Chain A
Amino acid sequence: MKAGIVLFPGINRERDMAIALERTSGHAPRMVWHTETDLAGLDLLVLPGGFSYGDYLRCGAMAAQSPVMRAVRDHAARGGYVLGVCNGFQILTEAGLLPGALLRNAGLRFISADCHLRVERADTVFAARYQRGAVFRAPMAHGDGNYFADEETLDRLEDEGLVAFRYATPAGKVLPEANRNGSARNIAGIYAPNLRVLGLMPHPEDLVDPLMGGEDGKPLFEALAAA
């Protein structure tokens, strides 16, 4: 799958993402500047983490208005794959590609720590190399990762099987103490209805090398590379 990483001013995890994609696919991703509008030839668009436009407005709100986002929307509408991580997830919700919003963390502080994610379904291109119900570790690094949506939307996400990952204990229990940012129903990541757009807060791209503490995030990128 040919991947492109979308660069907004203030993004800072684009190198991490490029390393993870190249390590698993053998191909360097294309770097796409936020003013570009021609994304032909790309199968997967990745919106990486960081602080687009400093997040001085609502997180992701400015980036969602970039010229490149029209092309990202078209790409998604054509059934193209989109992965948004952290600020990328925030941008996807601001752009309306995913429902809900990411609010300030419940403790009102930035959280940089490992969390554990339970895989809610494995029959998607993104999660194909995990088992359903499996737990994997990922670093989180965000101040605004508290997933919020109204009850109706949350019920719909659950009913349609669009919850991708939930914050869980290492043993896979979905409990409040595993949910440090206070996300509704422990939701860490969600899919669009066609299961081809994924947004998640933690950073699987930072755990693809035993040297950095583990390879828990690697299956996600291997699955994308193989698709």
Chain B
Amino acid sequence: MSVQPPVDATLARSFGLSAEEYAKVLDILGRPPSLTELGVFSVMWSEHCSYKSSRVFLKQLPTKAPWVIHGPGENAGVVEIGHGLAAVFKVESHNHPSFIEPYQGAATGVGGILRDVFTMGARPIANLNALRFGNPALPVTKRVVDGVVRGIGGYGNCVGVPTVGGEVNFHPAYNGNPLVNAMTVGIAAVDRIFLSAAAGVGNPVVYVGSKTGRDGIHGATMASAEFGKDAEEKRPTVQVGDPFTEKLLIEACLELMATDAIVAIQDMGAAGLTSSSVEMAGKGGVGIDLDLDSVPQRETGMSAYEMMLSESQERMLMVLRPDREDVARAIFEKWELDFAVIGRITDTGRIVVRHLGQVQADIPLAPLADQAPLYHRPTVDAPKPAVLNAARVEDRVGLASALETLLGCPDLCSRAWIWDQYDATVGGQTVKRPGAADAAIVKIEGQAMALALTIDCTPRYCAADAEAGGRQAVAEAWRNLTATGARPLAVTDNMNFGNPEKPEVMGQFAAAIRGMASACEALNFPVVSGNVSLYNETEGRAILPTPVIGGLGVIDDAAQAVGIALRPWLDLVVIGASRGWLGQSLWLREIGGREDGAPPPVDLPAERAAGDFVRAQIAAGAVRACHDVSDGGLLVAVAEMAMAGGTGVRLSTGPRDIPGHAYWFGEDQGRYVLAVAESAALIRAAEAAGIPAVRIGTSGGAGLTLPDGGTISVATLRAAHERFFPEWMGS
């Protein structure tokens, strides 16, 4: 930088620090900060790094269970899965960068979440993603979808971690603010989990991976503000991904982790060298001295400020045992990655940054963490919408036409165009690929067991009633795992909301957390990791509240996992109560042209009972196929099973007291469609357990025979289902 601006409250404001926050900085230091120090404070106290608006609410989430090894607070959550192994997983957003530069924004989102997982000693075995885009009619949406999908594929395919699941929705509320949430799952030995707390005065602090450049400076601050019309101008704050280096970094780190060299390790994610060094030393209760002259640099003439704030990708920071430095260096040389000792652990409790012979920053770590801003932001609860009376909603089109329309609409159509661009089989352990089951099934190499993985949220429910929607998101994830036969274990959450300084947005956040907490509690499904993304607004318009839930379960015998594909001559039984709930349903929006009513409530005890029953039936080997009932209701669920298996279904008449369209397209929660050889035994067992169970049809033939007399061939359904994406994207 040629001319340095004066470091004062005005500059602090432009760095995202409020007047009160800047006053606190002055108080902590007892003097005005240097430019580098101001940079450190501003990123550490950004919403993205400090969770200053959300922390008070996040505390309400249940985080404990006997199988939880590490809950929130580490790089990722860790749960025990048996046989001495642990699953390590987390979801993280890269929303803002993905709008500014879709390919790199999404790609580096995948890279970042991979590092959060392998930094704990886990080999990544699966990626998932949750995506939200704006109105498909807008050209910008097409461009963003294309870039995001290419970016996720470009990174994930190259590092060789299969992308096995995900979800996509469209809504105009995401026009200027798409969501890209990426989730990674890894496997580690229970007794070989690596943490980030630094220890050992005098121990070397080692930098490995890519060189540091000027990319992504102040990315964390950018991710903590709304977009105005100048969003495009923020492109230089987006980082550029290098999946090849990431692949080498994974292999080198895992090779080093097999030795006893590492004391602590953390990836350089948001706020790069600043957050990794501050958090490692802070958590360990030690101090850290950094010598920036030793940092591998991609460009010349970088200042201390730039190096501390750079978000160059594919970098890790480690504290090593001093006598193991050579072992570590040899491994990184083998993988042709930079390896540099850039500092030492001290007992000062301070971070001291030197560059070109000068101290550029000297900050006490305890107050930097302890006095980080914490806001109890005002909340306003939105009025709850009235329950829609389904009997007053006329059906003008009939079942067959509505089904064809729904199966072809952007929110329900086949995602094959997307997942065909993601390598789903690399690793050779993918038991159920995208679309084959309600959750992806990935086997643990060398074991009989497999993980079940899903990621879910229904934002239109959350927009209508954030508490009900938060509860539903957790329940749906739990249901999707259950539908494969897996035992749900834990959750990672990605809270995507608007500007927290607006009471109505904070009210949505608080309500969603209440709903999620109630479901996690009732389903014994704790939250072990997560991410908060606020300020998802463009020109003052917020996105729909989108609390994305990543769910992980385990199935002891991978061969027992059940998919959704129907075979001929099976009975179809719906488990759970159907009441014809049309409020906030896709039928109401796509066919009725309305987006109103209360969303379908989740009855948690009934949810638990139905799920436990279904899981037991699958474990007993009684179930040939299983699909939860979600978007589009019962008829869409049956159609999806028919299309997956290539067989038709003859459906029975529904109950007389519910209008046909409400029964077949209503989105009552807590339901599953099971395909079994003979329904009588299943229904008896369900009744004995007090769980509603109704036979709704028999598979076979070439089409769906509908209860109102209409028929529609599976080929026609597939054509309708598969049309949208290829036509839209022109391929």
Contact = CB atoms under 8 A, between A and B. Distances in A.
Interface of A: 9-10, 12-13, 15-16, 19-20, 49-51, 53-56, 107, 109-113, 139, 141, 143, 203, 205-206, 208-209, 211-213
B157 interface: yes
Contacts of B423: 110, 112, 141
B94 interface: no
Nearest to A209: B428
15 contacts: A9-B244, A9-B335, A10-B247, A12-B159, A15-B428, A16-B427, A19-B445, A51-B244, A54-B242, A110-B154, A113-B416, A141-B157, A143-B157, A212-B429, A212-B443
A89 B160 CA distance: 17
Contacts of B431: 211-213
Contacts of B159: 12
Given A10-B248, A50-B160, A112 B420 contact: yes
Given A50-B160, A211-B558, A12 B426 contact: yes
B336 interface: yes
A138 to B, nearest CB: 10
A59 to B, nearest CB: 11
A193 to B, nearest CB: 32
Given A10-B244, A109-B731, A212 B428 contact: yes
A208 B426 CA distance: 13
A110 B160 contact: no
A127 to B, nearest CB: 21
B426 A16 contact: yes
A16 B431 CA distance: 14
Interface string B327-351: 0000000011000000000000000
B248 A111 contact: no
Given A109-B731, A110-B153, A206 B428 contact: yes
Contacts of A56: 244
A81 B243 CA distance: 32
A110 B421 contact: yes
A112 B336 contact: no
Given A10-B244, A110-B423, 19 more contacts: A12-B426, A15-B427, A16-B426, A51-B158, A53-B244, A54-B158, A56-B244, A110-B421, A111-B421, A112-B421, A112-B423, A112-B424, A113-B420, A141-B425, A203-B425, A209-B428, A211-B559, A212-B428, A213-B433
A112 B248 CA distance: 23
B578 interface: no
B322 to A, nearest CB: 29
Given A15-B445, A110-B153, A20 B428 contact: yes
A164 B581 CA distance: 57
B251 to A, nearest CB: 8
Contacts of A53: 244
Contacts of A49: 426
A209 B427 CA distance: 13
Contact of B247 (A12, A19, A141): A12
Interface of B: 150, 153-154, 157-160, 242-245, 247-248, 335-336, 416, 419-431, 433, 443, 445, 558-559, 731
Given A112-B419, A211-B431, A54 B243 contact: yes
Contact of A112 (B247, B422, B427): B422
Nearest to B420: A113
Contacts of A208: 428
Contacts of A55: 158
B558 to A, nearest CB: 6
The 5 closest A-B pairs by CB, nearest first: A12-B160, A54-B244, A16-B428, A141-B423, A51-B158
Contacts of A20: 428
B195 to A, nearest CB: 27
A54 B426 CA distance: 16
Nearest to B424: A112
A5 to B, nearest CB: 13
Contacts of B428: 13, 15-16, 19-20, 205-206, 208-209, 212
Nearest to B153: A110
A55 B559 CA distance: 36
A107 B417 CA distance: 12
- Among the interface residues B244, B423, B445, which one has the most CB atoms of the partner chain A within 10 A? B423
A111 to B, nearest CB: 6
B197 to A, nearest CB: 32
Contacts of A107: 731
B425 A139 contact: yes
A51 B433 CA distance: 22
A206 B425 contact: yes
B426 A141 contact: yes
Contacts of B247: 9-10, 12, 51, 54
B62 to A, nearest CB: 34
Nearest to A109: B421
A142 to B, nearest CB: 9
A54 B335 CA distance: 13
Nearest to A50: B160
B482 to A, nearest CB: 20
A170 to B, nearest CB: 12
Contacts of A139: 425
Nearest to A13: B426
Contacts of A9: 244, 247-248, 335-336
Contact of B425 (A54, A111, A112): A112
Contacts of A111: 420-421
B449 to A, nearest CB: 12
Contacts of B731: 107, 109
A203 B433 CA distance: 15
Contacts of B443: 211-212
A157 B13 CA distance: 69
